[in-house]
Amino acid sequence: MTYGEKQTDPTAPMHWRGDMQADYMYPSGIAGDKFFNHLKEKDTFLATKCKTCNKVLFPPRLYCEDCFNEIPESDWIEVPASGSVKNFTVAALNAHGEKLQEPKVIAMIDIDNTDGALLGIIKTNDYEKDFSGLKVKANLRPKGKREGTLKDILYWE
Amino acid sequence: MKEVAVIGGGMTLFRRRLKETGKELSYLATKMAMEDAGIQKDDIDMVVMGSAPDAFDGIHMKGENLLDGAAAAGKPYVRVFNGGGTGVFAPIAGWWHVASGVADVCLVVCEEKMGSCYPHPQTAFRHIWDPILDRPLNPNLVWLFAMEMNRYMTVHNIKKEDIARVAVKNKRNAVGHPCAQLADPNITVEDVLNSEVLAWPVQRLDISPPSDGAAALIYCSKDVVHKFTDDPIYVAGVGWNIDSTMWTNRDLYFPRYVANAAKMCYKMAGITNPRKDIDFAEPYDPFDYKELHHMEGLLLCDKGEAPILTREGVTQRDGDLPICPSGGLLGVGNPIAATMGQKVCELYWQLAGKAGKRQIPGDPRMGVGQAWGDIMQMSTVIALRRG
Amino acid sequence: MVEKKEYKEWPPFAPGTHLHDSDIKEKKVNYTWWEPEVQYSWSLGPAMSKFLQGLKNGIIYGIHCKRCKRVLVPPRSFCEYCYGPTEEWVELKDTGTIETFSISYIDADARRIEEPILIGVISIDGASPQHGFMHYFGEMSKDEIKIGMKVKAVWKSENEREGSITDIKYFKPLKGGAE
């Protein structure tokens, strides 16, 4: 009777180990492709304006998820790669729960001239500071070395 | 229980890899379905998303990721999943929403991005096997189908030529379908029999390809259908059933879980003689032998009879019982859950007379769609009728 | 605003942009590459634990469901059909019958291999009919393998066994009587 049996043998196997063996290629999509290709060449961001909702959507997308209208090419606009800190946290551990050598300040940054925000890392030496509302600019990888991914934004300051 | 009508359908291109993100694909399919029905996002009460393993798109909890493109922001929303059965299960879940009376209009969206998984979507399939009993043997999912196909062929003494006819029929049926990935007007039985052996008895042209794609379907209750159409297509019946995971303890030659799901559906639809009462069917055909296997499971013919009907041309578009007039998964593509496009949306378009070049002649009034999933376990069946 | 479109044929067109392999290799499209680092440690449970211990000792265990009158292999803590707990372990033979098989020229990642792998389901002697598990076949050619063939397990040597389904290397044809 397996449920009734007591497990008294300390050498009995208890676990089976394994891992996930797939890798992933995520295409950025039609909107994402445009955004990152622009970022490769320029020091500004692209956003999309939904005229029905009167909102500037960031990150830019093909359609507005609220009114579900398609956003035409003509409603893509350029916005500065700067913003203000909406909220933030100071992380002491990394993604695996190990202690970081230096704490990391992770912030939600409201992007200027848009109704959207982006997650970013703030470069600082002062981890006790209150970053709320702080005006920040994106520090981008040098042109020519940009890969067209979010990592082209090295940090914010 | 309220009567539920289908008022719109949409689907995207199906290809091995598409540039659009999952959200963008969902948007394109939903937009087309909304144009078919003549509705806007505000008209939709609830949304159901169907999408198969997160491991394909590589986004954990992808239901939450896809909802923006599925017009679900701010709405009651649920993601359902049962492997390959999702393509018909999502429409069944959508049906619950309207039949129960909690929604008047319900949108169902199905999306899949298998192209994101490297080196091949098969790698994601490595993880459906039992980690202790099966994975140490490094199995490939094609092996499982090959074993089932072998059993089916051996028990009924079926020749490969008769099975290859299904691939030929479906790939030719898919010609003219704008979304089709593998349509081929010239393919022959010899081409299929000469194709590369992957895992005997399965050869390359016996299998449907992995695909990216999305499909959408819109339901409304009978109370409001007059606002949208004078000739409604109703859901006549639904059924679903799953068998145990212990697939090595079952005889694979007959899918009894398909028969159980079909019986549940037919009871609801008042179908007493499936061969006579059903005008056409879209069974799930990820492999050519599966169409035959599922025809028998759907009780459309006796055990072992499906290859004979295929050989005699009964299952052609102009035959007595058209099977997979859309071109099925073999012709159009296999983005797991988004196969709702060739299964349920196709039933609706055929019954509404909107299938264009794929339209079956005569006056079809009852169509049955079926999907299948997991480790030879799951089946979902839906019946749509005109009027 | 979405207006009703009255196309004659549905779907009227196929929205979507085809990406070719070359588009990815030549980086013509923007994408992000990700390698997950997830690891797992699955609990075996009492039934699998004993089954694997048995394999380490060169024994295939089954388990009895008295209500269904079935001897189940692989063993489990409860019977999935009558939904009651299973009782009594049964030592099964290490011989069986091929229920179905495949001759595979592709590996787990869909890559082509030269020498085919023979794989299939073996119903184990001593268990209920058609109850068994999946395993490799060896010492037979792809022309010799048949459904219904009697086979016997070929085990790894005692010190190579680690309590895994791979403690059995493969099943070979059972010729004549017992070996």
For residue B38, tell me if it sits in a domain: yes
Q: Determine contact, residues B114/C67, Cβ cutoff 8 Å.
A: no
For residue C23, tell me if it sits in a domain: no
What's the CA gap between B292 and B310, in Å, rounded? 8
- Name the residue facing B123 among A22, A25, A28 (closest C-beta): A22
For residue C132, tell me if it sits in a domain: yes
Residues of B in contact with A65 (CB under 8 A): 68-69, 71, 73
Give the per-residue pLDDT at C1. Answer: 52
C21 class by beta-carbon count within 10 Å (0-12 exposed, 13-18 middle, 19+ buried): exposed
How many angstroms separate the CA of residue C176 from the nearest CA in chain B?
24
For residue B184, tell me if it sits in a domain: no
Q: Which residue has the tokens 């085990």?
A: C155
Q: Which helix (H) or strand (E) holds C98?
A: strand C95-106
Range of the domain at C58: 45-173
Give the per-residue pLDDT at B119. Answer: 84
What's the CA gap between C17 and A29, in Å, rounded? 9
Q: What number is the average pLDDT over the span C76-81?
A: 91
- When pLDDT is cut at 50, 70 and 90, the band that residue C178 belongs to is very low
Q: What is the pLDDT of residues A13-64, one digit of tens each?
A: 889 998 888 899 999 999 999 999 999 999 999 999 999 999 999 999 999 9
Q: What number is the average pLDDT over the span C29-57?
A: 91
Q: What is the pLDDT of residues B13-54, one digit of tens each?
A: 999 999 999 999 999 999 999 999 999 999 999 999 999 888
Minimal CA–CA distance to A120: which of A131, A130, A134, A106?
Answer: A106
Q: Is the predicted pLDDT of residue C179 greater than 50, yes or no?
A: no
What's the CA gap between B343 and A20, in Å, rounded? 32
How many angstroms separate the CA of residue C11 from the nearest CA in chain A?
19
Q: Determine contact, residues C120/C100, Cβ cutoff 8 Å.
A: yes
For residue C97, tell me if it sits in a domain: yes
Strands A15-19 and C39-43: what pairing?
Answer: antiparallel
Q: How many Cβ atoms are within 10 Å of A9's Cβ, its own excluded?
A: 10
Coil/strand/helix, residue B382: strand
Q: Is the predicted pLDDT of residue B314 greater than 50, yes or no?
A: yes
Q: What number is the average pLDDT over the span B164-189?
A: 96
The distance from CA B340 to its chain's CA centroid, rounded to whole angstroms, is 5
B274-309 residues labelled b (16+ CB within 10 A) or e (exposed)? beebbbbbbbbbbbbbbbbbbbbbbbbbeebbbbeb
- Name the residue facing C147 among B119, B154, B345 (closest C-beta): B154
Minimal CA–CA distance to A116: which of A35, A40, A38?
Answer: A35
What's the CA gap between B348 and A57, in Å, rounded? 36
Give the per-residue pLDDT at B101. Answer: 96
* A21–chain B Cβ distance below 8 A for any pair: yes
Q: Is the predicted pLDDT of residue C2 greater than 70, yes or no?
A: no
Average pLDDT of chain B to the nearest whole number: 95
B340-374 residues labelled b (16+ CB within 10 A) or e (exposed)? bbbbbbbbbbbbbebbbebebeeebbbbbbbbbbb
What distances in angstroms separate CA B187 from CA B161, B211, B213, B287, one per listed residue? 13, 21, 24, 16
* A25–chain B Cβ distance below 8 A for any pair: yes
What's the CA gap between C143 and A30, in Å, rounded? 51
In a mutational test of the B interface, the residue from C37, C77, C100, C112 whose CB has the highest number of chain B CBs within 10 Å is C100
Residues of B in contact with C107 (CB under 8 A): 138, 140
For residue B195, tell me if it sits in a domain: no
ipTM score here?
0.90
Q: What number is the average pLDDT over the span B112-140?
A: 89
How many angstroms separate the CA of residue A125 from the nearest CA in chain B?
34
- In degrees, rounded to 5, the angle at the alpha carbon of residue C83 between the alpha carbons of residues C77 and C88 is 40
For residue C107, tell me if it sits in a domain: yes
* C90–chain A Cβ distance below 8 A for any pair: no
Minimal CA–CA distance to A105: which of A95, A119, A115?
Answer: A119
Q: Determine contact, residues C152/C138, Cβ cutoff 8 Å.
A: no
Cβ separation of A20 and B21 shorter than 8 Å? Answer: no
Give the per-residue pLDDT at B352. Answer: 95
Q: Which residue numbers of B have CB closer than 8 Å to A's CBs? A: 17-21, 23-24, 27, 30-31, 34, 40-41, 55, 58-59, 68-69, 71, 73-74, 115-119, 123-124, 126-127, 131-132, 135
What's the CA gap between A115 and A94, in Å, rounded? 30
End-to-end CA distance of chain A: 65
For residue C151, tell me if it sits in a domain: yes
CATH number at residue B356: 3.40.47.10
Strands A99-111 and A117-122: what pairing?
Answer: antiparallel
- Name the residue facing A23 among C24, C35, C49 (closest C-beta): C35
- Name the residue facing B178 among C14, C101, C106 (closest C-beta): C14
How many angstroms separate the CA of residue A61 from the nearest CA in chain B?
9
Range of the domain at B246: 4-118+209-386
Q: Which residue numbers of A have CB closer than 8 Å to C's CBs? A: 1-5, 7, 9, 12-20, 22-28, 30, 32-33, 36-37, 68-69, 148-150
Tally of domains within chain C: 1
Q: Which helix (H) or strand (E) holds B158?
A: none
Query: A14 CB contacts (<8 Å, ≥6 apart)?
Result: C43, C44, C49
Tally of domains within chain B: 1
What distances in angstroms separate CA C3 from CA B37, B40, B47, B73, one per listed residue? 9, 8, 20, 21
> C: neighbours with 3+ CB pairs under 8 Å?
A, B
- When pLDDT is cut at 50, 70 and 90, the band that residue B125 belongs to is confident
Give the per-residue pLDDT at A87. Answer: 94
